[in-house]
Amino acid sequence: MKHLPLLITSWLFWSFALHAHASEAYMGQFLYQYEGGNVYRVTVSDAKSMAWKCIAGSEKGAHGTETPERFKVDDNIYFATWREKTGINVTQVIDLKNMKVYSTIIDGKERYVLSGKIVREK
């Protein structure tokens, strides 16, 4: 009985995390148009994966398929994070209410903080 409060607290946190996960993740095809000129086409066809391709800017031609952890923060606002095969770590807030994206990219010792517009294609 001594551990019952800890057990209940652990169960509540687990339950919240389970329900907060973006099981109804945003779906479709989007353009992320970052300040500075890079434009990425992002395709989300299920809750477990996403594909991206840089179609304009300094990284044009770069692409990948990722398995992000995604969490619903609020109605039409999501947090996503993943590690690319190259070792780059990406975190994003995807705000589909205001059609904005905020990203942090960590590449080795370099960190980039970006923001941009989102345009829904499909």
Domains belonging to the chain, first-starting first, are 4-120 (2.40.128.20)
> In degrees rounded to 5, what are phi and psi of residue 38?
-75, 135
Question: Looking at residue 122, what is its pLDDT?
Answer: 75
Series of mean pLDDT values for 10-residue runs along the chain (122 residues): 46 41 68 96 91 96 94 91 95 96 96 96 84
pLDDT of 46: 87
Q: Phi and psi at residue 45, in whole multiples of 5°? A: -110, -10
Helix (H, G, I), strand (E, B) or coil at 109: coil
Give CA–CA dist 72/25, Å, rounded. Answer: 8
- Listing DSSP states for 43-96 in one string gives EE-SSS-EEEEEEESTTTT-EEEE--EEEEEETTEEEEEEE-TTS-EEEEEEET
Global pTM value: 0.78
